[in-house]
Structures are given as C-alpha cells and as structure tokens.
Chains A and B, each alone.
Chain A
Amino acid sequence: MSKIHILIVEDNPEEAAELREYLEDKDYTVTAVATTLKDALGYFYAQQPDLVIVDIYLGGSPEGITFAQRLNENEATRRPFLFLTQHASLEVFEQAKLTSPYNYLLKPFNPLELQYAIELAIEKFTGETGQFAVGDGAATAMEHNLFLKRRNSLVKVPFGDVDYVEVEGKYSNLITQRGEFLIQWPLKKLIEKFVPHQFVRVHRNYLVNLRAIQQVHLADQHVILSGERSIPFSQNFKKNLLEKFDVLK
C-alpha cells in the first residue's frame, strides 16, 4: 500500500494550507503546492501525482482551466483533477465544462465534501461513477494501482504489492507484505482486473501473484509463497498454473 499523491495548485496560501491539512488528515500525501500555471506544470511532470486539485483562478485569471486542458492534451499523462472555485457562476463553469472529466468543489468546503469530491474525480476518470458510494472495500483500478476505499479515505494499492487474493463470498482479501485490504468486487471483475497484472487463479477462492510463488508442491497441491505462506491449489486450475510456469521458463 502507498499513499495517494496529490498536487495542489492554489495561489491563496491560507486556503492551500487548509487544504493540505484536510488532505494529510485523510492520509494523503501532498506532493507540492503550486501557485502558478508554470510551477503547476513543472511539478506535475516531475512528480506524476495521482490527482491534482486546481483552483480555477490563479492570480485573477482562469489559468486552472488552462492547466487542466494541458493535462488532457497528452493521453499518457492524463490524471484525475478537481477544480476549486469560489463562485458557482455560470461563466466559469461554461469554461470548466470544456475540460473533461469535469469536476469541481465550491469553497468553502469541509473534509467530507473534499473526500467526496476526490472520490468522484477518480471515479469519473476511471469511468466507474458511483463506485465508492458502496463504502469500505469499494475500489477502482487506475493503471498499475488499485484505489481502495478504507475508513472514509482512499488508499492506493499497486497490483504488484498484492501477493494473493483470497475470495470470501461478497468480499475478498488482498494480502500484501504490509497488511490486508478488503475489496468488494465480484469474482468476475477480480479475475478480469488481476490476471493482466501477472496473477493466476490457482483455486476457486485464490488468485496468486506469480512473482510471489516460490514453490509449487504438486503432491499435496500447495503453492508456497514467500514468508512461508501456503495456498492450496485445486486440480481444476493445476493446468492453468503450470502453463504460466512454462511460459516463465
């Protein structure tokens, strides 16, 4: 697991400080606070944050929108972003709407509103709107990472960090070196999202990261992972597992 990295683009230092406080309370990492468009772009490309919170007005002009437009220009560098604005005025929104996905938060806001706005920004970006509404265990995948809802906040879990997935009915456990995470995904979605990241289904209830496998005991049908952990594999999925190893050899 790692923290979600957020870049703040805000020219009002007090507001930036308050925002930073809120974010850090929620265990997010603020990578930097940019006060100009130029700085913002510089930080963005250098730090590659997971999300950007942008004030629409920088120094009196709507440069936040320009920033968002620049972000959208390159498919590879696209990231979710969130507009901050003082007024719900039509003029500004008409411009902001041109940047897609369009998401904004009206000042002043409380931590709940901020959290909701962040979740919404990520949902819209991954195209899974309403995903986080289900509460703990809600998750969405973005590139090599899973964004998981946990205790009214979001955490980032890279697929690579997960050793194996243990399916337990409606919920599943993601077992990593740094702890376990609950994920509320149907099995079909789990397979669909994990298999491309070098996971193999070895059992009705287990998906294993190929990287984590240290030994395969064909006799007693167990897979030994690092840290002496042992997972059973079923006859049905034996072929599935061995194929992967053939490929790896």
Chain B
Amino acid sequence: MTLLSNISFCLLFIISSYSVCKCQPNTIRDYQLLVEERISELIQDEMTNPVFFSSSKDIISLFKVSDYDSVLIVLSGIEQLELYKESEFYPLLQLFKIHSLYELELFEQGALALDEVIRIESRFDSPLTSYIDLLKLNLGQSLIEKNEYDLGIQVYRHWINSESQKDLQVQARVYHNLAVGYLHKKQFDSSLWFFDEVIDLRRSLGDSSGLVQEYMNLASLYYEQYLDGQAIPLFQKALAMAKQLGDTTVLKTAEYNMAVVEENRKNYAEALAHRKEYERLLAAEWNRDRIWALAEQQKQFAIDTKQQEVDLLAAREQQQLSELARQRTQRNGLLATAALLLALLGMIAYYYRRVRANNRVISAQKEQLNALNVAKNQLFAMVAHDLKSPVMALQRAQRKLSLALSQTDQAQAQSLAAENEHITSNTFRLLNNVLHWAMEQTEQLSFVATPMPVQQLLAQVVYDYQELVRAKGLTLVQDFEVAAQVEVDANLMKIVLRNLLDNALKFTQTGGTITLQATETGDTVMLTIADTGVGMTAEQQAGLFSLTEHEVRPDTEGRKSTGLGMLLCQRLVARHHGNITVNSEVGKGTQISIQLPIFLDVEVL
C-alpha cells in the first residue's frame, strides 16, 4: 500500500515537472494574427451570405477581445447552415471554436471538434496546420492533466500522425506525456515503448537530467509491475547518474526512490542511508531555499535600510533646503526692512528739509507781514490821531459857536461855522482816503474805465476848489484846454486829483499859486498840479510812496498829515497804466505830474 502511494506520488511529481510543454502565449498570438488576416482576406473575396459574412466578422472581433463564450454562441448560430461546412472559413472558424473550448477548459468537446477538423486536415495550408498542431499539443496536455487519458492519448496520436515537422524537444515531451498516460491506463507495454523512445530522444538531445528522470520513470513502470529485477538496476543507474550530474532535485528524487525500493527489499540499513541522504538533500534544498530567502530578506533589509538612509538624507536635504529658504526669506526680509528704513529715513530727511525750507519762507513772510502789520498799525494810529485833532477842534469850535450864538455875536458865529465846515471837509477827505485805501487793498474797489475828455475831468474836480483857493488867498491857474480823452474810472481818477489839489492847498502859503495844467505829448497826456508851497526834501520825496518810511509832515497851518493820500494816488494811477512823478524843492514848491495814455476813439466825429 505504502509503495503504491509512494509511486503515485513520484509519478505525479514527475508529470508536474513536465507540465511546461504548453506553447508560449506569444506563439499563439502570432498564429491568431495570421488567422485573422487570412479570414479577413477570405471574407472580402467571398461575400456570398451576408449573415454568414457578418457573423464571421463578429467572431473575429469577439475572438480578438478573448470573449470566448460569445464566439461559441455566434458560431452555434451559423454551424447549422449548409454553407458553413462548405465554406472556406469552416476550418478556420472550427479552429476558433476549438481554441475557445480549450480556453473555457471544455477539453473533451474541444477534442471532439478537433477530430472533425483532423478529418479535413488536408484542406489546410501550412500556417493553419501549425495552428492545429499547437491546439493538439495544448489539448493533449490538458486532457492528460485532467486524467482524460483516452482522449489525451488520441489527440497526441493525431499530433504524432500529422505530417508536420516535429521539434525533438516537443516530441520528447509528447512521448513522455503519452508514456505517463499509458502508465495511468496500466497499458505498460505502450508506456514502456514511449519511455524507451523518450530515453532515446533525451539521450540524443544530451538532456542528462531528463534522461535520469526518464530512467526513474521507467524504473517506476517496472516496479509497478513488480519487475524488481528490471526496476532496481534502473533506479540504481538513475541514482548514479544523478550523483554524477549533481542535480540535487533529480538526486533527491533518486535517493527517495532508492530508499523506498531498499525498504521494500527489507534492506533497512540501505533504505535508511538513502532516506537520510534524501532528507539531507531535502534539508539542503530547504536550507538553500531558506538561505536564499534569508539572503532575500537580508537584501530586502539592506534595501530598506538604504531606503531609510536615503529617506533620511532626503528629509535632511529637505530640511536643509527649507532652512536655506528660511534663511533666504529672513535675509530678504532684513534687506526689505533695511531698504524700507532707508527710504523712510530719506523721506524724513526730505520732508525735514522741506519743512525747514517752508519754515524759512514762512518766517520770511512772517517778518514781512510783521513789518506790514507794524506799518498798518502805525497808519491806523496816525489815522486815529488825524481824526482826533479835527474832531477835538470841531468840538471846541462847536462850543464857541454855541457861546457866540447865545451872545448873539453874528460875526463870530459865522466865522466859527466856516471854520467848522473847513474842518469837516478835511476830515471827510481823510475818511474817504482811508475808505478807498482799504477797499483798494482788499480788492473791493470797482474799476470801470470809460473814455472821458481830460478837460471835463479836470473841470469837474477843480470846481470844488475854486472857493477854497479863494478863501486861502491863493491864485488858481487853469490851463487844460486840450481835446484829448483818457480812459479812466472817473471816480478813482478824481480821488487822485483831489488828493493832489488838497496837498497843494495845504502846503501853499497865502499869496501862492496853484496851477492845474494838461499837456499832450505824443500818445500821452500829462496832468500837472504845481504849487509854490513849502516843498519837500529829497528824503521826504523818497519816502512819499512808502507805507513804512513816510514821514508825517505838518502843513501850513501846523496840522499833521499821514500822507496816506499819496500812497493811494500812486496805487490808483498805476491801475490806470499811468505814472506819477514828483518834483519838489524846499521853499520853492512842489510839482506833481500824472502821465496817462491818450484814449483814441476811432468813431469820434
């Protein structure tokens, strides 16, 4: 019992070691491609039945995508057609069917279909024959593996009978498989024949390992039939050959087989030695595997370690990089901050300088304004003073007038009234000047220039002075019979002329002469007011048109004047695009001239 089980173990072991006789998948692919091409060609040539045609096309495309179920279903649809078996594609489609059955592991049906194909094998050309051979090999092997020995042997026999050229390696495998198949079927003669054939083939191929295997297979065959006399020497031969070969796998099997054989012969010492040898080999093999696994593990470990190192290094590099980036950012930040600070400093410096410059301008302006303010205050003081004295005089005169009236002193009253009128008219003029000065300074003064005859202008002004001049005992000479017109704001120009006449009146002693003259010179007209009065020094003349430098001069009656009138005159003449000039000599008199452009009216008749 134990022997049989051992032998079967041994046989199975052997078969599995030879189960690599499947053809390479790429070879199958090549064939498939060839077949597809062939079918495409054929289909194009022969378009007899559209259904058949389209089904065939479908089969090809389905086969291509390895949908073998669908291939079989579509095929079953056309298999019943008369046309099918007559068609040129029949063998090809049939091959697809076999292939699909094979792929679906329906080996028996595949073998049946193959039988059909083999009957018409003569109709195939060589690529298809090769394909059929391939299918035969695959089917045969699969059937034997599935213990379908009869079918497998049948298929293999077909392969052997076919006329195609045989590869010796493949032939050896086929013979081996057949020998195993017959062995399983207990047809020892056939098995023995094929083993002998395989041994011959191995020998001629120089395949020592295969030969040892075959010897052992043959020995097992004999041993199975209790032909110990033939089996044992073969086992021994195999063992010797295996030892010679040094192939541990084969040797291990040989030792094991010898151990079994010796044990059965009751040669326990021998059996034990073989068994030990077997176990040693097994252990060695296992150790080898173990060592290999260990080595693998070690290798893996080393790789892991290395990987860790690499990871560590990468992490460190990353860290360094990030550190570098951080440093760069820090540096950039510092740089930016520095630049910002610098810019800020620059700006501060710039603004500081500007502020300083502004301050300088402001302080200069302030000084100027202060000077002007002082002058203005002086002016106000003088104006107030000027106003105070006449008003006081008026008050005094008024009291006297009341007294005179109560005493009914007619003459005295009249004289006082005249005095009062004089004072008030002077005061009125001063006020008028102050008002116009203020308006001029604040740009509130209206200025509307219209053409006016010079004669008319002077006549209107002088009209008010005739009485005054006579009252003071002065002579007034009027010499302004000119046709010229000037473009003036009459009211403003009259203020100028009145001021000049007032001054002449004030600074000329009784008996003196005041001359009002107008002369045309080219495109200008000169208005001159001349007196034979007290005159002015050069300094007085120089300070006449300056607010800060002018002096207060007492007039012929000892009254003081601010000289504001002269300033006003200058400003107003300037606004008329004119010039004012002063010519004076102390003790001899003053001559003031105003030069104005003549107005030319083209429309004057």
Are A88 and B601 in touch, CB under 8 angstroms? no
Identify the stretch in A4-12, A108-116, A141-149 within 8 Å (CB) of chain B at 4 or more residues: A108-116
Cα separation A154 to B568 with both chains bound (whole Å): 36
Cα separation A91 to B444 with both chains bound (whole Å): 8
Are A90 and B446 in touch, CB under 8 angstroms? yes
Q: Mark B442-454, 1 if CB is under 8 A from A, else 0.
A: 0111101001010
Identify the stretch in B364-372, B455-463, B582-590 within 8 Å (CB) of chain A at 4 or more residues: B455-463
Nearest-neighbour CB distance to chain B for A186, whole angstroms, equals 8
A133 at the interface (CB under 8 A from B): yes
Q: Which residues of A contact B448 (CB under 8 A)?
A: 93
Are A133 and B460 in touch, CB under 8 angstroms? no
A74 at the interface (CB under 8 A from B): no
Main secondary structure of the interface of B (DSSP, over half): mixed
User: Residue of B at shortest CB range from A131?
Assistant: B605
Given known pairs A130-B604, A133-B456, the reply for A89 and B463 (CB within 8 Å) is: no
Nearest-neighbour CB distance to chain A for B370, whole angstroms, equals 29
B163 at the interface (CB under 8 A from A): no
Q: Which residues of A contact B460 (CB under 8 A)?
A: 110, 112-113, 116
Q: Which residues of A contact B444 (CB under 8 A)?
A: 89-91
Nearest-neighbour CB distance to chain A for B496, whole angstroms, equals 13
How many B residues touch the partner, as a band? 20 to 34
Nearest-neighbour CB distance to chain B for A109, whole angstroms, equals 9
Identify which of residues 68-98 in chain A touch chain B, using a CB-to-CB cut-off of 8 Å: 87-93
Given A88, A134, A186, which contacts B446 in the complex, CB threshold below 8 Å? A88
Given known pairs A89-B446, A90-B444, A93-B448, the reply for A106 and B456 (CB within 8 Å) is: no
Are B463 and A88 in touch, CB under 8 angstroms? no
Given A91, A92, A112, A129, which contacts B459 in the complex, CB threshold below 8 Å? A112
Cα separation A87 to B439 with both chains bound (whole Å): 10
B394 at the interface (CB under 8 A from A): no
Nearest-neighbour CB distance to chain B for A224, whole angstroms, equals 36
Q: Which residues of B contact A111 (CB under 8 A)?
A: 463
Q: Which residues of B contact A92 (CB under 8 A)?
A: 446
Cα separation A90 to B463 with both chains bound (whole Å): 27
Q: Which residues of B contact A134 (CB under 8 A)?
A: 605
Identify which of residues 423-476 in chain B touch chain A, using a CB-to-CB cut-off of 8 Å: 435-436, 439, 443-446, 448, 451, 453, 456, 459-460, 463-464
Nearest-neighbour CB distance to chain A for B452, whole angstroms, equals 8
Are A93 and B459 in touch, CB under 8 angstroms? no
Nearest-neighbour CB distance to chain B for A107, whole angstroms, equals 10
Q: Which residues of A contact B435 (CB under 8 A)?
A: 87
Are B463 and A110 in touch, CB under 8 angstroms? yes
Cα separation A241 to B318 with both chains bound (whole Å): 128
Are B491 and A90 in touch, CB under 8 angstroms? no
Q: Which residues of A contact B485 (CB under 8 A)?
A: 130, 133
Q: Which residues of A contact B492 (CB under 8 A)?
A: 88
Identify which of residues 109-143 in chain A touch chain B, using a CB-to-CB cut-off of 8 Å: 110-113, 116, 129-130, 133-134
Which 5 interchain pairs have the tightest Cβ spacing? A93-B446, A112-B460, A106-B491, A112-B463, A110-B463
Question: Footprint of A on B, CB under 8 Å?
Answer: 435-436, 439, 443-446, 448, 451, 453, 456, 459-460, 463-464, 485, 491-492, 601, 603-605
Instruction: Give me 15 A-to-B residue pairs in the complex whose CB atoms sit less than 8 angstroms apart, sorted by A's number.
Output: A88-B436, A88-B491, A88-B492, A89-B444, A90-B444, A90-B445, A90-B446, A92-B446, A93-B448, A112-B459, A116-B460, A130-B485, A130-B603, A133-B456, A186-B605
